[in-house]
Amino acid sequence: MLDPRTPVLVGVGQVTNRPNPDQPAPTRPHPFALMADACRLAAADAAGSRGHRLLGRAGSLAMVGGLGWRLPNGPRWVAGELGIDPADLAVSAIGGNMPLTLLHRAAGMIALGELDVAVVCGAECFFTRRALGAQQGLGAGGDLGEPAGWPSQDPDEIPTPHLVGTNRSPVTPAELACGVTLPVDAYPLLEHSLRAARGWSPADHRARMGTRWAGFSEVAAANPYAWLPERHSPEQIVEPGPNNRMIALPYPKMCTANIFVDQSSALICCSVAAARDARVPEDRWIFPLGGAEAHDHWFLSERVALHSSPAMEIAGQRALALAGVGVDDLSAVDLYSCFPVVVEMATAALGLDAAGSSPRPLTVTGGLTFFGGPGNNYVTHAVASLAERLRSTPSSVGLASGLGWYATKHAFAVFASRPPAHAGAPFRCDDVQRDVDALPRQAVDDDATGAVTVETYTVVYDRQTRPHHGIAVCRTPGGTRTWAAVTHPDSLAAIAERDSDFVGTAGTLGADRQLTFG
């Protein structure tokens, strides 16, 4: 007998509005219109012609925080477009973990009897935003400013939605001063650290990245919602070229998340009682079995090892334990994949294969390079795709992971096409932050000078594929960590050599934070 408060995912909807020469930028839908469309699709997916009645019962509409829009209360706009009036309107903080946080929140409120029906949705239209920006002269590259024709609201007349999570800077002043301003500045540092820890040469490492990402592209090629539904060879992915320029060592463009997409997705979660009342067929029910969340020590400087994630391991294993399953029980997996290193860290944390020979693909979408990386909202698409996969296989179990900032914030969720096997609460998600906070922190000296050893590094390239600047994480003779910039032409040229390995190389750090060699 199922507790009538047991949360079930009953409806999923996805929209991908690819480039179309017959659809000029000013006529392309904005992100809020795409969200409304995804919500309608999710309602129809759940209950067919009765889906709008189910949507009308939504007591919560929670929206993944946008990077490419600034509407003061996006949930209110979408609710008005749908003709519904949820009492709870919420927007998440920044982070690719937030879709799972919002879904965990919704499932928890349903399990407590605070809600019957909840909607989680999100969208980005960076492709259209950039095109409109270029036409309207809004900033370099056309990707700045608010496009004309998109919805507007007067913040003085619109109530503020509830903020789920907190927005906090991901970097220390020292990290920022040495060039860590974007994800593509930070993740290469983790990537080189992983390579060194695994004992791989740069060439070995490229081959592994290419093989892994080629497998992701195969999944995307079969996904009707993928932005780039094409197979790519490992060589196409890791070898720089006119259409695959170097971004930051060791990443050419095809090893990075693609934010310039127009994509939206929506999930409808409700109680078993509400699903039965709406006559949602039981073979469409997907059960959230358990979840867990935590963040690693917030700043990269504080983490003892840059190639692994204790928070991933603790939260991932806890989510599996709450679900009462092990990794061998998972028939479908979607690991967050903004950069290759994140997948490797997650496979190690979960005990999945880390060498690329897993019998199960590690994505159900194709990943953030090939499926698309719509800002913070990728995982809502992953859960929608996972639900469709689980529905096709009775009693199957799947896992999705989400990640925010610089491998900082982590969330894991386990789903199944069968009810929970364990007795007790209808749903449980654990915050395991206390366990992570108890772990050691790395000693840091932001003012260190003199002799240092390179722990990890990267080179960031300009749009003409010229090395622009380098970033190095170093260790002092006493073992403390410190940060350095590399702009001296000779030093920059040296570390930009793709087949050179500067991990473990001795250098000299000046008072200006510049690192030189020799």
Instruction: Label each residue of 79-94 as H, E or C.
Output: HHHHCCCCCEEEEECC
Q: Based on the fold, state whether residues 403 and 494 are members of the same structural domain.
A: no
- Is 186 within the bounds of a domain? no
* 61/41 Cα distance (integer angstroms): 15
* Average pLDDT per consecutive 10 residues, the chain (518 residues; last block may be shorter): 93 97 92 98 95 96 94 96 97 98 97 96 95 72 66 90 95 96 96 97 96 96 97 97 96 97 98 96 96 98 97 97 93 97 96 62 96 97 98 94 98 95 79 98 97 97 94 98 96 92 96 92
- Is 204 within the bounds of a domain? no
Residue with tokens 């994480």: 473
- Is 49 within the bounds of a domain? yes
Domain that holds residue 510: 450-516
**What pLDDT does 356 receive?**
45
How distant is the alpha carbon of residue 365 from its chain centre? 13
**What pLDDT does 147 receive?**
79
| Cβ proximity of 56 and 175 under 8 Å | no
Q: Based on the fold, state whether residues 462 and 389 are members of the same structural domain.
A: no
Look at residues 414, 437, 460 and tell me which one is the last residue of a structural domain: 437
Q: Based on the fold, state whether residues 482 and 386 are members of the same structural domain.
A: no
Q: Based on the fold, state whether residues 387 and 499 are members of the same structural domain.
A: no
Domain tally, the chain: 2
Q: What is the CATH number of the domain that holds 339?
A: 3.40.47.10
Residue 386 class from Cβ within 10 Å (0-12 exposed, 13-18 middle, 19+ buried)? buried
Choose among 345, 258, 336: nearest CA to 296.
345
**What pLDDT does 518 receive?**
78
* 4/439 Cα distance (integer angstroms): 40
Q: Based on the fold, state whether residues 334 and 462 are members of the same structural domain.
A: no
- Is 193 within the bounds of a domain? no
Look at residues 412, 437, 462 and tell me which one is the last residue of a structural domain: 437
- Is 126 within the bounds of a domain? yes
Helix (H) or strand (E) holding 514: none
pTM summary value: 0.95
- Is 202 within the bounds of a domain? no
**What pLDDT does 357 receive?**
44
Q: Based on the fold, state whether residues 297 and 352 are members of the same structural domain.
A: yes
* 54/47 Cα distance (integer angstroms): 8
Q: Based on the fold, state whether residues 361 and 382 are members of the same structural domain.
A: yes
Per-position DSSP letters for 178-197, written without gaps between them: TT--SHHHHHHHHHHHHHHH
Q: Based on the fold, state whether residues 265 and 400 are members of the same structural domain.
A: yes
**What pLDDT does 423 receive?**
60
Q: Based on the fold, state whether residues 157 and 286 are members of the same structural domain.
A: yes
- Is 249 within the bounds of a domain? no
* 401/82 Cα distance (integer angstroms): 30
- Is 174 within the bounds of a domain? no
Q: Based on the fold, state whether residues 412 and 329 are members of the same structural domain.
A: yes
Q: Based on the fold, state whether residues 457 and 353 are members of the same structural domain.
A: no
Structure tokens at 165: 């999570």
Q: Based on the fold, state whether residues 360 and 333 are members of the same structural domain.
A: yes
Q: What is the CATH number of the domain that holds 506?
A: 2.40.50.840
The helix/strand/coil state of 152 is coil
Is there a cis peptide before residue 250, judged by omega within 30 degrees of 0? yes
**What pLDDT does 139 receive?**
55
Look at residues 437, 469, 489 and tell me which one is the last residue of a structural domain: 437
